[in-house]
């Protein structure tokens, strides 16, 4: 028996059977591994509850939302980055700036003319007459004066002067950038110049008004060429349009004038979802997914212009509905860059024409249906309807998985509100674009000694003076961006620096301001609150325009941004 059994086994391993046996063993092993993999996957799928990737972000989301911001504002700011933050200044600004020698290449200035060459009769005939603001001599004098007075900005274009509010006043606009500007944007200012003619007919500028004091020079058609202008780089040369802060904003809602135009269009609409009343970065991450899908499908995005502002930004501590998209973002740039339509206007047109023209709606109720599967849909309206279960009803789920490599979020189409940025420009201009800035985080963090044991002491006035005097020259303008509600807390710093805070500039958004009147028009004549998100946005942007920027957690304290023992992970 033993002999026969042994011989039988030995026979199975004969050389001619080795290949067959090896294949059988490999097959069994592969099948076993497959069964184990299916079992493990089934267990994970049944028990795994996915995190919200926006609040526990992937490296890609984290890189976009936080890269290139200074370390303090990476985790502490509530202000989301938008398209203009990612423009490389050196790659997008092609115009050369204007200096005094450029101006003097033209007609000589009146003050350069020898008084002996002007006859007494000619001079007497001019005394008491209104200043001719269209005179090239006056134009050149105003340009030269502006360049010499405002030494911390580069001038790129001057508009033709116009008559001011009286006979000795001329108004002139210009486009500029701060010399140490870190953002790829142009700013527009328009000032009132008071011009004096002396007894020998010499002209001189005796006063230049405050920021935006020359209102008569603001209204100019976009295609009208000023009297003295460096050639503007074409959009093809620039590669991308640049924001111009200070221009009139035309963010009226687009309309479709005719039935034929509406009925021949293709539309995408997102309905419902969990984005309502979430943080602004959550809203924007989702909105950009919708805009990206609309572009991929070559459809007009039907968007809800009404935003629910999260309680983290409101003075009431409650979520607040009815905030206009245009309060926070540049809708003029968006509608010029993409095909978008207001939801209220869309439904009015749809109800008017859909039955008559047989317009069809394609309803999608599953975020797993990818944009690629909708590419061939010919119905007039594709409507994605989102459920009530979070986080599976977040819009940005549409752009995950297979779609992530296909749908590109068009960040260049979203800019910050130019009305808010005009307030930023006004504050920086009042500081002559020559100031340093510091961000002082206190609030709840300073009271939490377990996570931030040193923060309160390190941001006390005495500690701030000790730290800042090593980084900021004495007497400098110092803008303090802070969550400390009582700015008198920083009074001891006034002995060393000229301190400035956001609330010093309330006149820029009070009831007599341009911002106030323009946002009222958007809000059907009702006043608009300068809310917490607006405050944080302006405070952050002014801070980022300081020549020297000092951060709380990198420069002022030994504590970590996210609490004890998190410094390495937060870097």
Consecutive H or E run containing 38: helix 18-47
Strands 228-229 and 186-197: what pairing?
unpaired
Statement: residue 56 has pLDDT above 60: no
**What pLDDT does 379 receive?**
97
Least confident range of 230-239, 428-437, 489-498: 230-239
Statement: residue 415 has pLDDT above 50: yes
3-state helix, strand, coil in the chain (%, to 5): 45, 15, 40
Strands 381-386 and 267-272: what pairing?
parallel
The H-assigned helical ranges of 302-442 are: 331-337, 343-357, 418-430
Rounded Cα gap, residues 323 and 305, in angstroms: 8
Please, which residues have CB within 8 angstroms of residue 263's CB and are 6 or more apart in sequence? 353, 357, 359, 380
**What pLDDT does 125 receive?**
66
Least confident range of 137-141, 196-200, 336-340, 476-480: 196-200
Asked whether 549 and 70 are in contact (CB, 8 A), the reply is yes
pLDDT confidence bin for 223, thresholds 50/70/90: very low
Least confident range of 44-48, 215-219, 489-493, 533-537: 44-48
**Higher-confidence position of 444 and 11:** 444
CA atoms within 13 A on the CB side of 189: 27
CA trace torsion 254, 269, 299, 280 (10° rounding):
70
Which tens digits make up the pLDDT trace of 374-387?
999 999 999 999 99
Mean pLDDT of 358-367: 96
Strands 153-158 and 169-178: what pairing?
antiparallel
Statement: residue 53 has pLDDT above 50: no
Angle of helix 418-430 versus helix 532-543 axis, rounded to 10 = 50
Q: What is the CA radius of gyration of the chain?
A: 32
How open is the CA angle 534-280-307, to the nearest 5 degrees? 80
Statement: residue 252 has pLDDT above 90: yes
Rounded mean pLDDT of the chain?
84
Rounded Cα gap, residues 504 and 236, in angstroms: 42
Strands 203-208 and 228-229: what pairing?
unpaired
**What pLDDT does 3 receive?**
42
Statement: residue 44 has pLDDT above 70: no
Rounded Cα gap, residues 315 and 309, in angstroms: 11
pLDDT confidence bin for 107, thresholds 50/70/90: very low
- The pTM score is 0.82
SS3 241: coil
Statement: residue 62 has pLDDT above 60: no
Asked whether 192 and 165 are in contact (CB, 8 A), the reply is yes
Rounded Cα gap, residues 190 and 268, in angstroms: 41
Q: Taking the CB of residue 543, how many other CB atoms lie within 10 A of it?
A: 24
Rounded Cα gap, residues 217 and 163, in angstroms: 8
Asked whether 343 and 290 are in contact (CB, 8 A), the reply is no
**What pLDDT does 23 receive?**
64
Consecutive H or E run containing 364: strand 361-364
Which tens digits make up the pLDDT trace of 430-452?
999 999 999 999 999 999 999 99
Least confident range of 61-70, 72-81, 156-165, 484-493: 61-70
Rounded Cα gap, residues 494 and 491, in angstroms: 6
Which tens digits make up the pLDDT trace of 121-154?
566 667 778 999 999 999 999 999 999 999 999 9
Residue 175 φ/ψ, nearest 5 degrees: -105, 135
């Amino acid at each position: 028996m033993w002999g026969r059994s042994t011989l039988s086994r030995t026979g199975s391993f004969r050389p001619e059977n080795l290949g067959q046996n090896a294949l059988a063993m490999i097959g069994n092993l592969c099948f076993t591994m497959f069964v184990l993999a299916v079992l493990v996957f089934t267990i994970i799928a049944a028990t795994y509850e996915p995190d919200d990737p926006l609040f526990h972000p992937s490296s890609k989301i984290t890189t976009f939302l936080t890269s290139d911001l200074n370390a303090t504002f990476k985790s502490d700011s509530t202000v989301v980055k938008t398209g203009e933050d990612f423009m490389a200044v050196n790659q997008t600004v092609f115009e050369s700036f204007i200096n005094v020698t450029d101006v003097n290449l033209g007609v000589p200035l009146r003050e350069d003319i020898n008084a002996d060459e002007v006859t007494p009769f000619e001079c007497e005939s001019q005394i008491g007459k209104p200043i001719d603001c269209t005179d090239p001599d006056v134009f050149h004098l105003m340009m030269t004066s502006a360049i010499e007075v405002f030494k911390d900005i580069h001038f790129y274009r001057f508009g033709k002067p116009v008559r001011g509010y009286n006979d000795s006043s001329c108004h002139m606009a210009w486009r500029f950038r701060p010399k140490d500007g870190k953002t790829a944007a142009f700013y527009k200012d328009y000032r009132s110049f008071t011009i004096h003619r002396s007894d020998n007919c010499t002209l001189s500028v005796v006063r230049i008004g405050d920021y935006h004091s020359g209102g008569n020079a603001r209204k100019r058609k976009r295609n009208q060429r000023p009297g003295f202008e460096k050639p503007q780089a074409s959009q093809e040369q620039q590669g991308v349009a640049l924001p111009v802060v200070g221009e009139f904003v035309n963010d009226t809602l687009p309309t479709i004038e005719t039935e034929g135009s509406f009925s021949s269009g293709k539309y995408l609409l997102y309905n419902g979802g969990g984005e309502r009343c979430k943080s602004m970065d959550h809203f924007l991450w989702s909105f950009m997914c919708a805009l990206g899908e609309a572009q991929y499908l070559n459809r007009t995005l039907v968007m809800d212009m009404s935003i629910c502002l999260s309680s983290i930004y409101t003075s009431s501590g409650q979520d607040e509905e009815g905030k206009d998209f245009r309060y926070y973002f540049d809708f003029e740039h968006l509608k010029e860059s993409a095909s978008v339509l207001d939801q209220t206007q869309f439904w009015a047109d749809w109800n008017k024409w859909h039955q008559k023209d047989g317009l069809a709606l394609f309803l999608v109720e599953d975020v797993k249906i990818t944009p690629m599967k909708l590419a061939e849909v010919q119905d007039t309206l594709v409507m994605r309807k989102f459920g009530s279960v979070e986080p599976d009803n977040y819009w940005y789920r549409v752009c995950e998985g297979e779609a992530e490599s296909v749908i590109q979020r068009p960040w260049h189409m979203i800019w910050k509100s130019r009305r808010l940025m005009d307030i930023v420009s006004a504050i920086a201009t009042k500081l002559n674009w020559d100031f340093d800035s510091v961000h002082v985080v206190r609030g709840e963090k300073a009271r939490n000694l377990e996570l931030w044991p040193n923060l309160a002491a390190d941001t006390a006035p005495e500690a701030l003076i000790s730290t800042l005097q090593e980084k900021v020259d004495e007497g400098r303008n110092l803008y303090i961006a802070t969550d400390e509600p009582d700015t008198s807390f920083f009074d001891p710093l006034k002995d060393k620096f000229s301190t400035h805070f956001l609330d010093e500039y309330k006149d820029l958004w009070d009831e007599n301001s341009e911002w106030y009147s323009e946002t009222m028009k958007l809000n059907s004549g009702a006043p608009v609150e300068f809310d917490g998100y607006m405050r944080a946005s302006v405070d952050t942007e002014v801070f980022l325009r300081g020549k020297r920027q000092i951060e709380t957690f990198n420069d002022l304290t030994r504590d970590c941004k996210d609490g004890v023992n998190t410094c390495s992970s937060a870097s």
